[in-house]
Structure formats: C-alpha cells, structure tokens
Amino acid sequence: MSNGVLVIFDQNQGQVRHVVPEILTVARELGVGAVTALTFGVRASETLETLGEYGAAQAVIWEHEPFTRYSSDGFADAIVELVPQVDPSVILFPASAWGKDLSPRVAELLGAGLVTDCLSLRTDANQRVIATRPIYAGKALAEVAVETPIQMFSMRPNINKAISHPVKPQVLDWTPSIGENSFRSVVVEVRQAESGTKEVTEADIVVSGGRGLKAPENFALLDQLAEVLGAAVGSSRPVADDGWVPHSYHIGQTGKVVSPTVYFAIGISGAIQHLAGISGSKYIVAINSDPEAPIFKVANYGVVGDLFQVVPALTEEIRKIKANS
C-alpha cells in the first residue's frame, strides 16, 4: 500500500507559482495517500496557508540557513535525507527551470524513475501512476509509467486545474543534518526581471513575436498589446539569439514551454521547434502576412495581414472595450 505523495516546490518570499496549487490538486486526486509538501527559503512558512487551502496534510518547511540560497547538490542531498521520514511512493516537482534542475539529481540519488514535463497523471488498478507527456516536439502524447518503488514526475504548469480542498497541515518538525559545507554550489545572485515583466510560463495570455517584427524596437508594439491584455511577452528563438529581447523570452524546444489560455504568435512562422513550446496553449491566435505560414495549421484563430497594421488596431480595439466595460 502506498505512503502518499511528496510535492517539492520553490517559492519566492512566501509567494508560490500558479503551478503549486495545480500540483497539490493532482497529488490529492491520485488517491495514493496523504500529500506532504516541502519547500525552502526565506519566508517559506508563509506558503503554509496555500498548502492547507489545496489539501496538503503535512508540510515540511526549511527556511533557515543554509536553505536560504538555492543549491542543486545541497538541496538534493537534503531531500534524499527527508525521503525515509515521509516514505512517499510518488514525488512531484514543477517542470519549472528550478524543478528541471533539481528533480533529475534527486531521482539519480534515490535510484528512482523520473518522467518529466507531464501533462496529467492517473493511477491504474495497481495504484501505479501513469503519466501523459508530449513527445516528438508535442506532435504526439505518450503514456509512461516508472517501475521503481519511488515514482517521480515533474508537472507542466497551467495544464491542471487547482481545486481548493482546505485542511490544516501538520508541520513536520524535522531538519536534515546537512550543513553549509555540504553545499558544493550555491546561487550567489538572483537578478529580478524588470518590474512589470511577466513570466511567460506563469501567464494566462502570452503575446509573442518573431522575425516578422523586423527590428528590436518594434517589440514596443507587443509591449503595448500585452499591457492592455495583462499578458506576458515572449518570442521565437532567432530574435532572442540576435539580442532583440532577453533570452528569458525565448519559447520553444530549446527555450521555455508555455501553456497559457491564449497564445498570440505575431510574425512567427510556426517552425516545429517553436510549436514544441506552445502546444499546451488552449487557443493560438496567429497574425502573419503569409497565408501559407505553418502557424496557421495549428492556430485556432488567424489574421492574414501586416502585423504593423493589425497589432496597433487590435490594441486600440481592446483598449476601447476595456474602457467601456
């Protein structure tokens, strides 16, 4: 019989990403036992309310030194020490940059199988977890199970619905013996994104631009559209490679994977490597002057036209609608 699910996530000054309530909901709905949540860092205990809201029966919070600064190897060693205390059969991470860094290290140290970037999880008759994940750059979905006693998965954000299920989490008062000297690498500086810049992986609407914008200064058109929509701005890879926008904007196979409700692809051709990062979007809206552009094959809505005319007109119309509502 299973011993429940351990959900491991990062937080920022007491704030959790959208994906955390989503993963807690997935963990609870698996029905393989109680959910324990583990988080780290400065003000981590302020996440307790959210953990309780989404059904974590138990919480483990390490906000003391040396857990105030991220360390791949230090955190991985500490998690491995914790695992026998919780004895989970399933461990879940967000498929964020943080989760993608930490989860394989933990899997290797535990000798556990890890399935990354999962869209959903279910259990079979033997309480074995079956994950659904995209393959071939999002062109197909595979169902995958792992055969190790501990089954590990990382979950793509914005796919699963967060459903409230209030409980009062019990705080497990246990800290690993690991000390500062065990932290062989630490993050020495964290640079905040410019104020007002939304993170593409968290946003409900993403406005993304490609080479069709012709020059970096024309991204101002996308900033204006994003502002009226409350959206994040993203990009195709070549414009990030050419320094038109920060690398944090780059979406696709070699960049970030997004799954917003609405994804605007503006002056983006729709190369397979770009589509790999946007296939989880609920609606794709393409604006492109070439009616044969591959992006129209995947778009739910399309405008064949010059973005330099379409985008300002769209921004203006949305602004008017918002002003009148």
Ligand X SMILES: Cc1cc2nc3c(=O)[nH]c(=O)nc-3n(C[C@H](O)[C@H](O)[C@H](O)COP(=O)(O)OP(=O)(O)OC[C@H]3O[C@@H](n4cnc5c(N)ncnc54)[C@H](O)[C@@H]3O)c2cc1C
At which residue do the structure tokens 């483990």 appear? 60
Question: Smallest gap, in angstroms, from Cβ of residue 137 to ligand X?
Answer: 9
CB atoms within 10 A of CB 318: 14
CA-based radius of gyration for the chain:
21
Question: Smallest gap, in angstroms, from Cβ of residue 138 to ligand X?
Answer: 12
**What sign for the dihedral angle of Cα 301, 234, 228, 216?**
negative
Question: Smallest gap, in angstroms, from Cβ of residue 295 to ligand X?
Answer: 7
Question: Smallest gap, in angstroms, from Cβ of residue 2 to ligand X?
Answer: 37
Q: Enumerate residues 6+ apart whose C-beta is below 8 A from 189.
A: none
Residues at the interface with ligand X (CB under 6 A): 210-212, 236-239, 252-255, 267-269, 271, 273-274, 277, 287-290, 293, 306-308
Nearer to ligand X, 196 or 291 (CB): 291
Nearer to ligand X, 134 or 252 (CB): 252
For the record, the structure tokens of 188 come out as 């020495």
Question: Smallest gap, in angstroms, from Cβ of residue 287 to ligand X?
Answer: 6
Nearer to ligand X, 68 or 253 (CB): 253
How far apart are alpha carbons 180 and 109 in whole angstroms?
A: 19
Nearer to ligand X, 247 or 320 (CB): 247
Nearer to ligand X, 7 or 287 (CB): 287
Q: Cβ distance 265 to 284 under 8 Å?
A: yes
Nearer to ligand X, 78 or 222 (CB): 222
| DSSP code, position 12 | B
Question: Smallest gap, in angstroms, from Cβ of residue 122 to ligand X?
Answer: 29
Nearer to ligand X, 151 or 288 (CB): 288
- Give Cα 56 distance to the centre of its chain: 20
Q: Three-state SS for 251?
A: strand
Question: Smallest gap, in angstroms, from Cβ of residue 290 to ligand X?
Answer: 3
Question: Smallest gap, in angstroms, from Cβ of residue 239 to ligand X?
Answer: 6
Q: Enumerate residues 6+ apart whose C-beta is below 8 A from 146.
A: 112, 113, 114, 115, 129, 152
Torsion of CA 82, 87, 91, 93, to 10 degrees: -20
- Phi and psi at 307, nearest 5°, equal -60, -30
For the record, the structure tokens of 12 come out as 């920022």
Nearer to ligand X, 154 or 288 (CB): 288
Q: Enumerate residues 6+ apart whose C-beta is below 8 A from 22.
A: 155, 157, 158, 159, 160, 161, 162
